[in-house]
Structure 1
Amino acid sequence: MCAIRLRLGILGADDSLPIIQAVVEAYKEFVCLPVVYWDESEILDLIRPLASEADMWLFSGQVPYSIVKQSGEIEAPLFYVPHIGASLYRTLLQVHYTKRIPVSRLSFDTYQRREIERLLEEAGIEESIPYVKHYEGGISAQELSDYHYLLWKQGKTEAAVTCLRTAHLELEKLGMPVYRVLPARSAVEAVIQTIIRTGQMLQAQDAQIAVQMIEVDAMQAVSPETFSTDDMYRLEMKTTEKLLRYARKVQGSLKSAGPGRYVIFTTRGALKEMTAGYKTIPPAEEMAHLYEEIAACGIGIGRTAYEAEIQAGKAFLHAKQHGRGAWMAAFDDGTIAGPLGAREQIRYSLGGEELRELAERTRLSVATIGKLQAVLRKRGNNEIEAHELAAYMQILPRSARRILKELEAAGLAEAIGETNPYPRGRPRKVYRLFL
C-alpha cells in the first residue's frame, strides 16, 4: 500500500453511506468525511463547507456525482460507485425470493438495457427486459418515480428496481412495490483502488518543479522630490529581502533575472497550497507585503525545471496583458488559469488543432478562442452579451463587441436577441456562439 493519507469526502443516501464508509474505513490511506443527503437539491449546500477540506470525493451513485460535477464548484477529483454486477444480482435475487416476479415484469432505471441483458445471459437467463429508464448524468427523483408508477398503474409491471434512494422513498409513499439497488462491497473496493492510484499520481504531481516569475517595481512608493540613487539601492535591497522571505515560505530558491525580475524555483505542491489551488493570491503576510511592488507574476508547472521556466514565462506575459499586479498560472497540460484572486477566473487552452482551425477562420488569436471556450464552459451555455464577456475576460466592452462581431462574420456566432439591464439604457445584443 502507498504511504499517502487522503481526506476522502463520502456523500451518499442514508442506506448507502454506511456501506461505503465501512469499506473505506478499512483502508489506512483515508480519513473519512461522511455526508448524508435526503434530497438532491441540498447536495451542493452540504459539500460546500467541506470543499477545502476534502482531497477527493466519492459519491454513492451517478446522480449526486453528476450534480456536483456539472456545477463545476469542486475541483478535487470526483468518483462514484457504479451499481453494476453484484449490486444488481443481489437485488434480483431479493425480488425472486420474496415475490418471484419475472424480470420482464420489472421496471428498471439508470442501467442501459444491454447491461441488464448481459448480466442475465451470464446467469443463463434469457428473458426480455422491456422497461428500462436509462439516463446520462443527473435526473430528478420525481421523473424516475413517475416513470415506474405509471407502468405499474397501467398493469405493465409488478415492481420497480431503482438506483436512486429518493425515488425509492417516493415510490414507497405511493404504495408501489420497489426494490433499491445498493452498492456492493466489491464495487466500492474497485473504486477505492482507483482513488488510491489517483492519490499517488497527485502526490507525484505535487513534487513537480514549479517556477514563479515575478516583476517588481519598488519605485511606486518613492516620492520624486526625495528620490536618490541611495534610495534606489535601499529599495532594491528591501524588496530582495521580502522576496527571500517569501521564497523560504514556499520552500524555494530565489534567482535574479535582470533589473526588477526574479525567479523562484519551488514545487507544484507548495505553490498549490499557497494559492489555494491556483485560485487566490497569497495573503499579505505570506507575501511579506509585496503587493504594491509586484507588477506581474507568472507561475509555471513542468516536468523539468526548463519546461517549468518556459511555462512561467508564458504565464508572466499573459499576466502583463491583464494589467498591473495580475497573477497567472500555466500548466503542463497546455492550459493557463487566472487572473488569480480575480472575481471571474477562467482556465483556457493555448493549443490544439481545433483551436488553431477556429482561429484561422477569424482574425482572433488562439488564446482568445481558448478563453472564449473556457468562458462558455464556466457559464454552462453558449449565449452571452458583450458586457458579460468583457467581465469574464477582463477587457473593455468595446473589445468584447469586436470579438463577437468577428465571430459573427466568420459564422461562429449569431445575434439571437437583445437584453436591456437598465430601463433607459441602450439594448445589448445577445449572441449564441458555436465554438
Structure 2
Amino acid sequence: MKARVAVIGSAEFIERTKSVADQVADIELDFYMYQQPQEALQILKQLLPCDAVFLSGALPYYFSKDYHEQLQIPVFYLVQDEMTVASSLLAALYHKKISVERISIDLFDASIVSNVLTAVDIEVTPMHVMDYEHFLQKDLYDFNQLVSFHQSLWENGEIDFAITSVHAVYNQLHHLGIPVMRMADPKTALIRGLQNAKEKAEYRKSQASQAAVGYISIHSVLQRKKIESFAHAIHATAQEMNDSLFVLYCTRGDIEALSSDVLLQLFTETEETAVGFGYGVSIKEAHKNAMIALSFAEKDQENSCCYILTDSKDLLGPFPHKQKQQKLVNNHPDLYLIAQKAKLSPANLSKMIEFVKNKQIHHFTSADLADYLQVTRRSAERMIKKLSDHGYIQIVGEEMTYQQGRPRALYKLNIPIFF
C-alpha cells in the first residue's frame, strides 16, 4: 500500500518536489501551497487524510508546532545542512563570479555556513550571515527583519548578492531590485526527505495496527453500561471477565487516538475505576502488559486513572490527570551490571533512574521514592540500602519537615542517568 504524504511549501518548493517525486516508490503526494510560512498552521487544519506531513523548512514547522505536535501522524521538515549551503555558495561563486565576502546569507542556523567554509579552509571577514533560530525561540520572527538585513547591506555597498532560505524574502528582495537567489535544496535532499516521509508513515501505520488489550476494574455492576459505551468510543470489543473486571480488545492506533475527554467521561461516570492498556506484538504479550498497567492504576493514589505499558516496556500515565514515563525494562549493559551487583531487579533500577530524571532537584527521601514507585516506604528503603551498600547511593543531608520525630535522610544517586 502506498504512503500518502501531504507536502506543504511555497510554489517553488512544490515544483522542485514534483520533479523528484517519481524517484520514490510507493508514495502518493498531496500538495498544499502557501504564500507565507505562517499559513502552514491553517493549512494543517484543512488537510485531507494522509499518513505523514512534509514541510518545506524550519519556519512552517515552527509556526505550526503547537498544533502538529497533537497530531497522530509524523510531521517533519526539510532540514538545511552543509550540502544545501555548499551547493548555494558554489552556484553563486561560479555563475555570478562573486567573492564570498560580498554575499549576504540568511538561514536557520548560521553555524552551517561556518562549517562549510572551515571544511575548505576559507576564512572570510566580515561574513554577512543572519540566522533566524533565535527569533523563533523568542517568538520575535518577522520576515521584514531578514529583508532589512540584506537591503541595508546592499544599500551600503557591502554586498553584491544575497542568498535567502525564505521564499517570501526572495520575492521582496527581487521586487526591490537586489540580486538574490533562493537557497538551493539539492535534489538528493528532497528525495531523501520524501523517502524519510514514506518510512515514517509506514512505521507509524505498523505501530497503529499493533495489538492492544485493556483491563478495566470497576466497583459496581451498575457501571457495566458505561464500560460498553467506552468500548464503543474506542472501537474495542469488550468481554466481561467477572462482576468487577472487563477486558477490551482493540489496536494501538485506537488507544493513541483516544481523546482525554472520552477518558474523563468514563472516570466521571464511574467511581474508583482503574484502567490498564498494554501493547504487544502478540495478543498474549498485550494481555501481560495490560495486567501490569492495571496493577499500577489500582495502586495509584488517584481515585480513577489509566496507565499504558508499551511493547518496549515504557509505562505511560497516569491519564488523564497527568503523564509521566517510566522504563520498566533495562537493556543497557552498564546498568545491568549495577543491578546484578546490588542484587536489584533491572526493572526497579530503571524506574529509580526515571524517578531521578523526572525530579527537578536530584536529592530525595525514601518517602519521595516510595510515592513515585507506588510501593511501601519499607520497600523503597530496601532498594536504597542495596544501592547504598555498593556506593551507588549516598546520604547528602537530612530534612525535618515535622516538629516531632526523626529527621528524614536525603539521598543522592551516584549512577549516570543519561544513556
TM norm. shorter chain > 0.5: yes
Counterpart position of 1:172: 174
For residue 357 of structure 2, the aligned residue among 329, 350, 354 is 354
Counterpart position of 1:147: 149
For residues 127 and 356 of structure 1, the distance between their equivalents in structure 2, rounded to whole angstroms, comes to 46
For residues 97 and 13 of structure 2, the distance between their equivalents in structure 1, rounded to whole angstroms, comes to 25
For residues 367 and 30 of structure 2, the distance between their equivalents in structure 1, rounded to whole angstroms, comes to 46
Q: Equivalent pairs: percent with the same residue? A: 20
Amino acid paired to 1:140 = D
For residues 32 and 75 of structure 1, the distance between their equivalents in structure 2, rounded to whole angstroms, comes to 18
For residues 269 and 108 of structure 2, the distance between their equivalents in structure 1, rounded to whole angstroms, comes to 57
Matched, 1:309 2:305: no
For residues 16 and 118 of structure 1, the distance between their equivalents in structure 2, rounded to whole angstroms, comes to 25
CA deviation vs aligned residue, 1:370-394 (integer Å, no higher than 9, x gap): 9xxxxxxxxxxxxxxxxxxxxxxxx
For residues 369 and 134 of structure 1, the distance between their equivalents in structure 2, rounded to whole angstroms, comes to 43
Displacement of 1:15 in angstroms is 1.0
**Contact (CA 8 Å) 1:10, 1:32: kept in 2 or not?**
yes
Counterpart position of 2:60: 64
For residues 199 and 149 of structure 1, the distance between their equivalents in structure 2, rounded to whole angstroms, comes to 42
For residues 84 and 122 of structure 2, the distance between their equivalents in structure 1, rounded to whole angstroms, comes to 20
For residue 260 of structure 1, the aligned residue among 227, 234, 244 is 244
CA deviation vs aligned residue, 1:74-97 (integer Å, no higher than 9, x gap): 453222113345544553454345
Change (3 A) 1:362 1:38: farther
Displacement of 1:39 in angstroms is 1.7
For residues 366 and 143 of structure 2, the distance between their equivalents in structure 1, rounded to whole angstroms, comes to 48
Amino acid paired to 1:321 = E
Counterpart position of 2:88: 91
**Contact (CA 8 Å) 1:68, 1:74: kept in 2 or not?**
no
Counterpart position of 2:37: 40
**Contact (CA 8 Å) 2:226, 2:269: kept in 1 or not?**
no
Matches of residues 395-406 of structure 1 in structure 2 within 5 Å? Answer: none
Change (3 A) 1:239 1:83: closer
Change (3 A) 1:43 1:239: closer
**Contact (CA 8 Å) 2:53, 2:197: kept in 1 or not?**
no
Matches of residues 111-190 of structure 1 in structure 2 within 5 Å? Answer: 112=109, 115-116=112-113, 119=116, 126=122, 128=124, 130-136=127-133, 138=136, 139-190=141-192
**Contact (CA 8 Å) 1:168, 1:180: kept in 2 or not?**
yes
**Contact (CA 8 Å) 2:9, 2:56: kept in 1 or not?**
yes
**Contact (CA 8 Å) 2:23, 2:191: kept in 1 or not?**
no
Amino acid paired to 2:292 = I
Consecutive unaligned residues of structure 1, counting only runs of 5 or more, are: 222-235, 340-344, 371-435
Amino acid paired to 1:354 = K
For residues 46 and 233 of structure 2, the distance between their equivalents in structure 1, rounded to whole angstroms, comes to 31
For residues 233 and 45 of structure 2, the distance between their equivalents in structure 1, rounded to whole angstroms, comes to 32
**Contact (CA 8 Å) 1:337, 1:346: kept in 2 or not?**
yes
Displacement of 1:329 in angstroms is 4.5
TM-score by length of 1: 0.62
Consecutive unaligned residues of structure 2, counting only runs of 5 or more, are: 327-353, 374-419
Change (3 A) 1:281 1:55: farther
Counterpart position of 1:271: 255
For residue 273 of structure 2, the aligned residue among 270, 281, 296 is 296
Change (3 A) 1:41 1:317: farther
Task: Give the count of matched residue pairs.
Answer: 332
Change (3 A) 1:359 1:155: same
Displacement of 1:186 in angstroms is 0.5
Amino acid paired to 2:192 = A
Q: Secondary structure at the match of 2:11?
A: coil
Q: Secondary structure at the match of 1:128?
A: coil
Amino acid paired to 2:273 = A
Change (3 A) 1:188 1:308: farther
For residues 153 and 204 of structure 2, the distance between their equivalents in structure 1, rounded to whole angstroms, comes to 47
Displacement of 1:109 in angstroms is 1.5
**Contact (CA 8 Å) 2:88, 2:183: kept in 1 or not?**
yes
Displacement of 1:281 in angstroms is 2.3
Change (3 A) 1:183 1:267: same
Amino acid paired to 2:247 = V
**Contact (CA 8 Å) 1:215, 1:294: kept in 2 or not?**
no
Q: Secondary structure at the match of 2:324?
A: strand
CA deviation vs aligned residue, 1:106-137 (integer Å, no higher than 9, x gap): 01121655533554677x68452611113437
TM-score by length of 2: 0.64
